[in-house]
Structure 1
């Protein structure tokens, strides 16, 4: 590498020196030269100088020429650099000394600004406090004004203060506004309480002693002030309540013995009597007129209008509810006095109007509706009488007799002579029974249905079954065992009454007829007769007020309305009777059945005698109601005996333990239940109705036993014997079906008449204990085919006897005879 020439080095030094002129401290400060940059630059210059000196020394050694001048200039340059360095350091030192001064200047400026802000704030607070003080002084000035009786000025100042507070922007969204508002509200409440105290002083009302003293001094100003403060309505309402409680309630609220308090009137005082006395409606109206006149005379007109708006309607309502409504008579004897009361009420409304009051429209309307109100009172009273009859009744039973006349043939008369039981209530029987439902068959239980053929019986049975379905739907029955019940019903209905028909055939038929009288006794409670009296009272009163002598009476137009009350009375009986009979009486549904049909028969007589065709529908509905009660009880008992008999489990394996014990218990419990029901119903139902009801229950039991035995696939000899013993145990119930007789001959049980499948049940016993030849003989020569179908007999033979030629021949013979039939 070649070294620079001397000329080049000198030139470079000169250029460096020319460029290295440095500014003084003032120029540095004026140019805002960074002190750190200046220090760095000086260091670089010093380093460059050293390098130049070193390079010059080297060159001077390598080049032998005179460079003293240049060294002298370099030293001069060095001294200039040292001087510049000192100057820079002084500049830095001076700059560092100004920083605390700047901080002190900033702190002093902040303090000045804070002081100025505090001065502004204090001035604002001072202004606000002065405004608050002024408003508080205004509020405090209100109290001396109203205490001195200057109510108008006090209200003006109060309103002005409220207005000032609401408009002053200094108080918006501040707690001061809340506090001032509370002070104003407190001053308003204090003002109002003061006015109310003055109100009470001028309207002195003593609720304890029933006294009102009125002095009208300054009362008008008080009323005006309360009105401006929007407190008159509440004050007036409170006064009205206290007035009612202290003065009018003692007059209007009657005591149970019809007593009321009178009033004494003085110039500015009204006083309620200390003791009540007997009073009528005119007396009460007179006392009220005195009170209204006193108030009208003593109170300023400015509150009378607002007082009348609510005072008279409230007074009218209490007068109607406590005196006028109770004055409505239920009988006809007090109608003249009631009309006089209505005249007094009308005169009272005119007096109210003359006094300048209003609001009596309710009293006028009530007077105009007097005929309808009287009819309503009669309706309420009659329905309440029905309720009371059931409430006070003890269910005391008594026997009644029903007599019915029938046209019968001589053949029927023979049967009547042999049977002393009257089936006048055959149509009352449970609608699932085979009891006839029309007049031609009402003597079926008497044994007089010999002229009925099987076709007619079937048609009537179908009609009876339909009626029973309606009854079941009405009571909500048949939900669980509907299909089974229908099958059982059809099985029962398919059995003709053969024993009765046979008796009729033996008696012979004749064309001659004569009238006979059927009588029978049954038991009712003490309920129907009072209810019948209530119905008869409505009919009788309707006839009386419809006469010309009552044409001018107020209720003359209500005669037709009274005839509608028997319908409501019977409806009330039907609505309340079920709970009464169920709770108070054993076998209550049977008592309800008897009472309903007895009452229906008596009401029918009233309807026929008075030609009230409108009651026939109610009579039919009452009869149906009684039959539904009977049906409900029958269904309950059917369910019980069926459940008891279910304990036998279909008599399967009835000859082996433990099934044998279950069967014995089930049959014994069923028989005991039937006898218990017989004893319970015997004093209630007529004899024929009792036999029909028990016969229906026995039919249910025997039908179930027949079905269970026929369904047995295999019956051993031991089982057959046990089944016969069970059936014989049930057959002992024949002693329940003995007719009432007066001759010395032993009565013949009429079980076959009342138990539809009794003959079939007896034939079943014969089949269970007979030989194959005996069964075939009963089918071919006897009447077994009248009770059993060929398939049923074949099933029993196959269950009872083992496979053999004799069995096959017997079955073939039975089928052959069946096809021939």
Structure 2
């Protein structure tokens, strides 16, 4: 069985012994094994004792000293234990111990202190209750006697006493009863004071009554209004004053601006004989138009309040209540008198400025002086910018009128008139583009000579050259003599403002010329040519093209161009009267701004950044911007038609021209010259953009139609030929339709340029498709030639006099090339070689001719020789 191992044995010995016991089995555990283990342990104990003894012997003196110290500690510990036990008996003994005796004495002292404290608290509570009782009785007597101001003071004192009630009385029923009675009396006093206020200050729609003294129930003498106001609670007084401010502003300030009103101040006695001050309000006669009376009413009302009410207000409200009236009064004067009364005509400004000055004086005297609102001078700030306010209102009115004018013009068909477009390039008769023997070929001399006195040709010479008969010569001489008359011109004519008045005399020729479209061409003798103009967009045919010199001509200048008053040659074009209304509005704004600036009504202020009239003059440019922004939106449904697109372009062009004239001739535009010049530039860009857009829309439509022909291939098939023929016919119809829509709208130069552009894109697309066909059999070549000849009918669009040749080449550069293509499709190799050798095919590139020869003719030595000749380049002449 296990046994304890002595602690003083080394750990290794005990571990070895335990290990042996752990490894022993029941067979090996016997007496000999136990004896050996015991012997081993005894030996270990002996060795340990020997070591201890040797250690003591080695330092005997230290051992003896430590042994004696240990004995001494033990003796003192025993002595201390005996003393502690004796002290514990002395302190804790139940009969004679010090602690029980002390606790008994403390308990007796505590009972005595508690009895004394209870007596003191009872005395203080009874004293406080007695004082509260006395205060409550006094308050009751004051309320019963109607002496309310002292009662209010007593009420506050009693309330303070009840708040400071001793702790033991906080939950006492007697204190709750006193608090209830105090609350009842306080409510009663508040009710009596409110009733006194309502009797002293009466405000209704017809009068304001203020009584300096008021008699309350059971009161022996009337109470002063100042005492009543100072006695009312702050919350109740704030409500009363808020209601008073609202009623005064509604019935006596704002109402004075809304309807004619007269205010009177009087003093009288009521039925009881008490004095009262009355501010009476009476409606003025309906025909009263004096706009200064509202300001007088405001002055009367404020004087009344300043004398009768403001002095009796309690100190917290003596300054805050008058100041609270300043902002609403300033707002009422601005919102109900000055801003609505701002005139829309310059003639009404002097009378309005008188009212403005009186409003400023009222603000200085009453709002700033009386109501002590020195930091806020809204009226003065508004008056300092009254010129700007007037101009902004006028600008808004001008822009609104222009916007309505633009929108109304869309709801009905727009009236139009014919304006005159100055031509860009003037060429004298004696400085033609070609010698005199080439004039017939180009049609440059169709107009005859100038009617100026300095002409180098006489009348007989003109007859020999042009073959005019005597009647034509007489008519020409008659029209030459007409401009000699000296007529004093109206300044408005220079701007076209009087076009309506002179329309029957000045525009009848233009209208007859351009109606249906352009109408019947007048005889050359019916027009007085002065200067011949070459369109800028015209392109001359190649000089070495013999075919060109035989077929090219120019549009007759005399059929649509007229000398203007400045001596320039002009062309009529259609413009909407809306544009004239817009330019009238612009000019009116410039004149109005100049009139305001020169009137001196608003002197230039040192703090102002703009001079008077500038904003109104700037409205002219804003009207033009408004037209550019609004019209394309509201007229979007109309601007999908070709004619209306070009008409809008004409409107912008005419407006740009008129704005340019305003910039040059109007003195008023110096301030806004840069802005008007910018508007002119933008309008001209807009005119050119819409003009080009109108052309591009037609180009896109024509390209879409030609795309349905699928490259004009396989035309030997009848169905394919019919499809191609239908596409070509649609192209011709679309071009004629666009030309018919543009002819009465555009000036002649722009008209031919636009029509030439859409014809040119059609011819180029067809040329590209046909020249791209790699192989053209004989049947297809005849079919393609027939298709190309359909477009020859478009040449009639460029003929004005069918006795003369057309001028299609001037506006359709590819016309000769396209015409030769229709001939080459059916020409023989010899014809093609001859035309090439004569230089008639210079419009074709060498590669294009080579490709066409390969597509039309079989591969033979003759074709090879022809190709070699073509690849050598066009012949030089």
Whether these two folds match at TM > 0.5 is yes
Aligned to 1:645: 706
Deviation at 1:627, TM superposition (A): 1.7
Deviation at 1:780, TM superposition (A): 2.3
1:381 pairs with 2:409: no
- Choose from 369, 379, 383 the match for 1:367: 383
Normalized against structure 1, the TM-score is what? Answer: 0.60
1:157-185 alpha-carbon deviations (Å, 9 max, x no partner): 998799799x99999xxxxxxxxxxxx99
CA distance in 2, matches of 1:292, 1:500: 99
Look up the SS of the partner of 1:399 in the other structure: strand
CA distance in 1, matches of 2:207, 2:718: 94
Q: Is contact 2:264–2:279 with CA below 8 Å preserved after alignment?
A: yes
Deviation at 1:146, TM superposition (A): 13
CA distance in 2, matches of 1:222, 1:350: 32
CA 1:661–1:357 in 2, change beyond 3 Å: closer, same or farther?
A: farther
Aligned to 2:586: 535
1:299 pairs with 2:309: yes
CA distance in 2, matches of 1:164, 1:668: 113
- Choose from 548, 565, 571 the match for 2:625: 571
CA distance in 1, matches of 2:168, 2:786: 114
Range that drifts further, 391-400 or 196-205: 196-205
1:710 pairs with 2:776: no
* Number of corresponding residues: 587
Aligned to 1:344: 358
Deviation at 1:707, TM superposition (A): 1.7
Look up the SS of the partner of 1:522 in the other structure: strand
Deviation at 1:706, TM superposition (A): 1.7
Deviation at 1:728, TM superposition (A): 2.6
Aligned to 1:816: 872
Deviation at 1:203, TM superposition (A): 5.2
CA distance in 1, matches of 2:542, 2:188: 103
1:136-167 alpha-carbon deviations (Å, 9 max, x no partner): xx9xx99x9899867947984998799799x9
1:400 pairs with 2:419: yes
Aligned to 1:524: 575
Q: Is contact 1:535–1:566 with CA below 8 Å preserved after alignment?
A: yes
CA 1:620–1:309 in 2, change beyond 3 Å: closer, same or farther?
A: same
Deviation at 1:392, TM superposition (A): 3.5
Deviation at 1:195, TM superposition (A): 8.3
- Choose from 535, 538, 556 the match for 1:445: 535
Deviation at 1:189, TM superposition (A): 12
Aligned to 2:781: 720
1:103-135 alpha-carbon deviations (Å, 9 max, x no partner): xxxxxxxxxxxxxxxxxxxxxxxxxxxxxxx9x
Aligned to 2:761: 700
Please give the residue correspondences for 1:65-214 in structure 2 after superposition, counting only pairs within 5 Å. Answer: 152=152, 156=156, 204-206=202-204, 213-214=209-210
Deviation at 1:398, TM superposition (A): 1.4
1:673-723 alpha-carbon deviations (Å, 9 max, x no partner): 222222222222223222221221222222222222222233333433343
Look up the SS of the partner of 1:410 in the other structure: coil
CA distance in 1, matches of 2:169, 2:793: 111
1:797 pairs with 2:813: no
CA distance in 2, matches of 1:660, 1:706: 17
1:781 pairs with 2:845: no
Q: Is contact 2:210–2:308 with CA below 8 Å preserved after alignment?
A: yes
Please give the residue correspondences for 1:503-522 in structure 2 after superposition, counting only pairs within 5 Å. Answer: 517-522=568-573
CA 1:608–1:153 in 2, change beyond 3 Å: closer, same or farther?
A: same
CA distance in 1, matches of 2:857, 2:366: 104
Deviation at 1:791, TM superposition (A): 1.0
1:390 pairs with 2:406: yes
Please give the residue correspondences for 1:731-746 in structure 2 after superposition, counting only pairs within 5 Å. Answer: 731-739=792-800, 746=803
Give the alignment's Cα RMSD to 1 decimal: 4.9
CA 1:699–1:448 in 2, change beyond 3 Å: closer, same or farther?
A: closer
CA 1:354–1:622 in 2, change beyond 3 Å: closer, same or farther?
A: closer
Q: Is contact 2:143–2:189 with CA below 8 Å preserved after alignment?
A: no
Deviation at 1:390, TM superposition (A): 1.7
Aligned to 2:446: 418
Aligned to 2:13: none
CA distance in 2, matches of 1:190, 1:645: 102
Aligned to 1:285: 295
Q: Is contact 1:146–1:191 with CA below 8 Å preserved after alignment?
A: no
Q: Is contact 1:401–1:519 with CA below 8 Å preserved after alignment?
A: yes
Aligned to 1:681: 742
CA distance in 2, matches of 1:312, 1:379: 32
1:390-434 alpha-carbon deviations (Å, 9 max, x no partner): 234352111223455834252539645426999xxxxxxxxxxxx
Q: Is contact 1:296–1:304 with CA below 8 Å preserved after alignment?
A: no
Deviation at 1:643, TM superposition (A): 2.3
Q: Is contact 2:702–2:734 with CA below 8 Å preserved after alignment?
A: yes
Look up the SS of the partner of 1:263 in the other structure: strand
Look up the SS of the partner of 1:412 in the other structure: coil
Structure with more of its chain in helix, by fraction: 1
Aligned to 2:649: 593
CA distance in 1, matches of 2:185, 2:534: 98
CA distance in 2, matches of 1:383, 1:168: 83
CA 1:635–1:309 in 2, change beyond 3 Å: closer, same or farther?
A: farther
Look up the SS of the partner of 2:585 in the other structure: helix
Deviation at 1:602, TM superposition (A): 1.9
Aligned to 1:670: 731
CA 1:541–1:194 in 2, change beyond 3 Å: closer, same or farther?
A: same
Deviation at 1:797, TM superposition (A): 2.3
CA 1:767–1:264 in 2, change beyond 3 Å: closer, same or farther?
A: same
Deviation at 1:788, TM superposition (A): 1.4
Q: Is contact 1:145–1:154 with CA below 8 Å preserved after alignment?
A: no
Structure 1, gaps ≥5 residues long: 1-133, 172-183, 254-259, 423-440, 455-494, 505-514
Aligned to 1:427: none
Look up the SS of the partner of 1:521 in the other structure: strand
CA 1:337–1:808 in 2, change beyond 3 Å: closer, same or farther?
A: same
1:755 pairs with 2:845: no
Deviation at 1:813, TM superposition (A): 1.6
1:780-799 alpha-carbon deviations (Å, 9 max, x no partner): 214212x2111112222223
Look up the SS of the partner of 1:279 in the other structure: coil
Look up the SS of the partner of 1:400 in the other structure: strand
CA distance in 2, matches of 1:798, 1:412: 43
Q: Is contact 2:190–2:233 with CA below 8 Å preserved after alignment?
A: no
1:469-508 alpha-carbon deviations (Å, 9 max, x no partner): xxxxxxxxxxxxxxxxxxxxxxxxxx9x96699769xxxx
Deviation at 1:572, TM superposition (A): 2.8
Aligned to 2:234: 228
Deviation at 1:275, TM superposition (A): 7.6
Deviation at 1:281, TM superposition (A): 3.6
CA distance in 1, matches of 2:754, 2:164: 97
Deviation at 1:637, TM superposition (A): 2.8
CA distance in 2, matches of 1:605, 1:800: 60
CA distance in 1, matches of 2:334, 2:238: 26
Normalized against structure 2, the TM-score is what? Answer: 0.57
1:25-48 alpha-carbon deviations (Å, 9 max, x no partner): xxxxxxxxxxxxxxxxxxxxxxxx
Aligned to 1:626: 687
Aligned to 1:126: none
1:508-564 alpha-carbon deviations (Å, 9 max, x no partner): xxxxxxx985232111112222332333334434555565xx457536942566554
Look up the SS of the partner of 1:388 in the other structure: helix
Range that drifts further, 397-406 or 232-241: 232-241
Deviation at 1:250, TM superposition (A): 3.4
CA 1:201–1:412 in 2, change beyond 3 Å: closer, same or farther?
A: farther
Aligned to 2:603: 554
Look up the SS of the partner of 1:325 in the other structure: helix
